Amino acid sequence: MSNINIPIVEIFDSTLDIKSTALTFTPSLNVEPILHEIQYAVIKLLKSKQSSIIDLNAMPFAPGEKEKIRQELGNGEVEILLNAMGKSLLFETDYPGVWWIEHYNDEEQVTGTYIEIAHIPEIIQAVDEEISAGLQRLTQTLNDRSESYENE
Amino acid sequence: MKTNKPISVKQTLQNNGVSRRSFMKFCAATASMMALPPGAAKLIAAALEKITRPSVIWLSFQECTGCIESLTRSHSPSIEGLIFDVISLDYQHTLQAAAGESAENARRAAMAENKGEYLLVVDGSIPLKNGGVYSTIAGMSNLEMLKETAKDAAALLCVGSCSAFGGLPNANPNPTGAVAVSDIIKDKPIINVPGCPPIPSVIAGVIVQYLTFGLPELDHLNRPMAFYGQSIHDRCYRRPFYERGQFAESFDDEGARKGWCLYKVGCKGPTTYNACATTKWNNGTSFPIEAGHGCIGCSEPNFWDNGGFYNPLSQTPITDKTNLGVAVAAGVATGVGATLLAKTKQNKTKTPSSNDGENL
């Protein structure tokens, strides 16, 4: 993951003056529309409890734009590490309810980047099916133990 | 490679140690690949829970193996890799362990067991000159094998520009009489996934799209609209420079260093329909234009013969003799996008070349 926001032209030619460099790759065309989309999604979450996901892979970003959005959103209090088919990092941003989500594969390459607007990202929440399966395992473990106590 | 019992795709993934959250990641990434809204991940998950692993037979004809390299050399384990768990790949002569008669027997057995239901994937063109002697497998010409295997297929998926349009082997003077699959098979649904090679996640995405939602919406060249619905130019991050009339005139001038539009150094973005500008390559790292080179138009028919990769479209002889190139040049001069015009032409422009082959 890189938070470096260096316009590519500087890599090629550091002698270019800053003004022309800035004109080349900024202002970013995608940053503000996405912030507006987030604003709309937050209002929707508050009013109707409906969550939203924005898929950042589907956007034609210029180099550095995605990092710019990440910077604009900042960091909140919560960071979650999920291990499922590679890591996933879920950051609460500076705006509560707005989550920055990065999915990685086992080789730590990004497989998807999303902004989810929700109380808790959906992928984190356990579902009843899993909870029931877990309860069965726990019950079995306790039964096995009580049987072994009885045998002693 | 083969399974006799019908097992749902979700069950297969779970048997391979894929948890529910992993499955959700898979479905989310698949929705992303298919250019669907993120909420569609749930629809994909529901569909994959129901369907059983479909049989896939993959035939490689006159090709360079670049397409299968593209798919298998992508990051691993990956969504693309998981596709091999989702499908039952019953024949792929580069990947399978079996060889010779046993390989051909596996193909025929899969055809018999899944008659009318298997998906036939083809990469490579089919040479027709001199009885098709330029490419044979197990003593059969590519033409014979294609006809035999396509007969009972549910649909055909042509991976790469060679099977979709004839590709490099079909380039002038086409010494082997190479043609596309669609020049031979006329009675089956054909989905073209062109590119030289196609983007791996697009190959995988089209396969999942077919499995979950059936035949996808196609454009006039049988390409899935979800991936080939917009031009490179439409989705290019350098598009604003085109609108402003800021162009690189050569690869080492100030415009090139500043990342301006590459139209004048031969970029074929305005007439090329593919997902490179958003999906990108090498696990989403970048795509040719981001690396400073124009698009060469590899997902369009006859891209090798379209007048050179470094000539601007305005100097390119368009094969259908429309005034598209001239119009795009006018766009450069005036700063008016030619994309709209290119879009209207998308329904009429180039057709896959078939005139170089012998009569079937």
Looking at the 3D structure of chain A, how many domains does it have? 2
Rounded Cα distance, A112 and A86, in Å: 12
Q: Is B274 on the interface with A (CB under 8 A)?
A: no
- Based on the fold, state whether residues A148 and A101 are members of the same structural domain: no
- Based on the fold, state whether residues A100 and A52 are members of the same structural domain: yes
pLDDT bracket for residue B334 (50, 70, 90): very low
SS3 assignment, position B241: helix
Higher pLDDT, B318 or B34: B34
Instruction: Name the nearest CA neighbour of B226 among B256, B257, B259, B201.
Output: B201
- Based on the fold, state whether residues A80 and A144 are members of the same structural domain: no
- Based on the fold, state whether residues A107 and A138 are members of the same structural domain: no
Residue A70 inside a domain? The answer is yes
pLDDT, position A5: 45
Higher pLDDT, B282 or B250: B250
Q: Which CATH architecture has domain B239-346?
A: Irregular (4.10)
Rounded Cα distance, A50 and A44, in Å: 6
DSSP class of residue B352?
A: -
Residue A77 distance to chain B (closest CA, Å)? 23
> Longest Cα pair distance anywhere in chain B, in angstroms?
63
Of A20, A53, A86, the CB nearest to B38: A53
Residue A143 inside a domain? The answer is yes
Residue A77 inside a domain? The answer is yes
Higher pLDDT, B356 or B113: B113
- Based on the fold, state whether residues A50 and A101 are members of the same structural domain: yes
Q: Are strands B190-193 and B155-159 parallel, antiparallel or unpaired?
A: parallel
- Based on the fold, state whether residues A111 and A133 are members of the same structural domain: no
Rounded Cα distance, B244 and A62, in Å: 16
Q: Residue A78: CA atoms inside 13 Å, Cβ hemisphere, count?
A: 15
Task: Give tens-digit pLDDT for B13-70.
Answer: 777 767 888 888 878 887 877 777 777 888 888 887 777 778 899 999 999 999 988 8
pLDDT at B151 over 70: yes
- Based on the fold, state whether residues A20 and A69 are members of the same structural domain: yes
pLDDT, position B76: 46
Residue A109 inside a domain? The answer is yes
Residues of chain B in contact with residue A60, where contact means CB-CB under 8 angstroms, are 235-237, 277-278
Residue A2 inside a domain? The answer is no
Q: Is B77 on the interface with A (CB under 8 A)?
A: yes
**Six-digit token string for B298:** 């590899």
Of B18, B78, B257, the CB nearest to A9: B257
Residue B295 distance to chain A (closest CA, Å)? 15
Rounded Cα distance, B242 and B54, in Å: 45
Residues of chain B in contact with residue A128, where contact means CB-CB under 8 angstroms, are none
Rounded Cα distance, A125 and A107, in Å: 25
Q: How far from A48 is each of A38, A54, B37, CA to CA, in Å? A: 15, 18, 20
Answer whether A85 sits within 8 Å of B24, measured CB to CB: no
**Six-digit token string for B104:** 């051909």
Residue B158 distance to chain A (closest CA, Å)? 24
Answer whether A55 sits within 8 Å of B37, measured CB to CB: yes
Residue A1 inside a domain? The answer is no
Answer whether B284 sits within 8 Å of A57, measured CB to CB: yes
Determine what percent of chain B is predicted with pLDDT higher than 70. 81
Residue-range domain boundaries for chain B = 9-227, 239-346
Higher pLDDT, B345 or B99: B99
pLDDT, position B340: 42
Q: Is A34 on the interface with B (CB under 8 A)?
A: no
- Based on the fold, state whether residues A107 and A133 are members of the same structural domain: no
- Based on the fold, state whether residues A104 and A144 are members of the same structural domain: no
Can you give the CATH number for the domain in which A28 is found?
3.30.1370.140
Strand spans (E) along chain A = 52-55, 79-83, 87-92, 98-104, 110-117
Q: How far from B79 is each of A148, B18, B333, CA to CA, in Å? A: 45, 12, 43
Q: Which CATH architecture has domain B9-227?
A: 3-Layer(aba) Sandwich (3.40)
Answer whether A57 sits within 8 Å of B32, measured CB to CB: yes
Rounded mean pLDDT of chain B? 83
Instruction: Name the nearest CA neighbour of B312 among B271, B348, B353, B273.
Output: B271
Q: Which residue in B has a C-alpha nearest to residue A50's C-alpha?
A: B39
- Based on the fold, state whether residues A87 and A141 are members of the same structural domain: no
> Which residues, given as ranges, of chain A have pLDDT below 50?
1-27
Count CB neighbours of A21 within 10 A.
Answer: 18
pLDDT bracket for residue B74 (50, 70, 90): low
- Based on the fold, state whether residues A130 and A79 are members of the same structural domain: no
Residue A3 inside a domain? The answer is no
pLDDT, position A69: 94
Out of B20-34, B77-91, B222-236, which region has the weakest mean confidence (pLDDT)? B77-91
Task: Give tens-digit pLDDT for B155-201.
Answer: 999 999 999 999 999 999 999 999 999 999 999 999 999 999 999 88
pLDDT, position B327: 46
pLDDT, position A47: 96
Q: Are strands B155-159 and B119-123 parallel, antiparallel or unpaired?
A: parallel
Q: Is A1 on the interface with B (CB under 8 A)?
A: no
Rounded Cα distance, B48 and A72, in Å: 37
- Based on the fold, state whether residues A115 and A131 are members of the same structural domain: no
The model's pTM: 0.77
| Alpha-helical segments (H) within chain B | 9-15, 20-33, 41-50, 66-72, 79-86, 100-113, 142-150, 161-165, 200-213, 225-228, 239-244, 254-257, 276-279, 324-334, 339-346
The whole domain housing A107 covers 8-120
pLDDT, position B348: 40
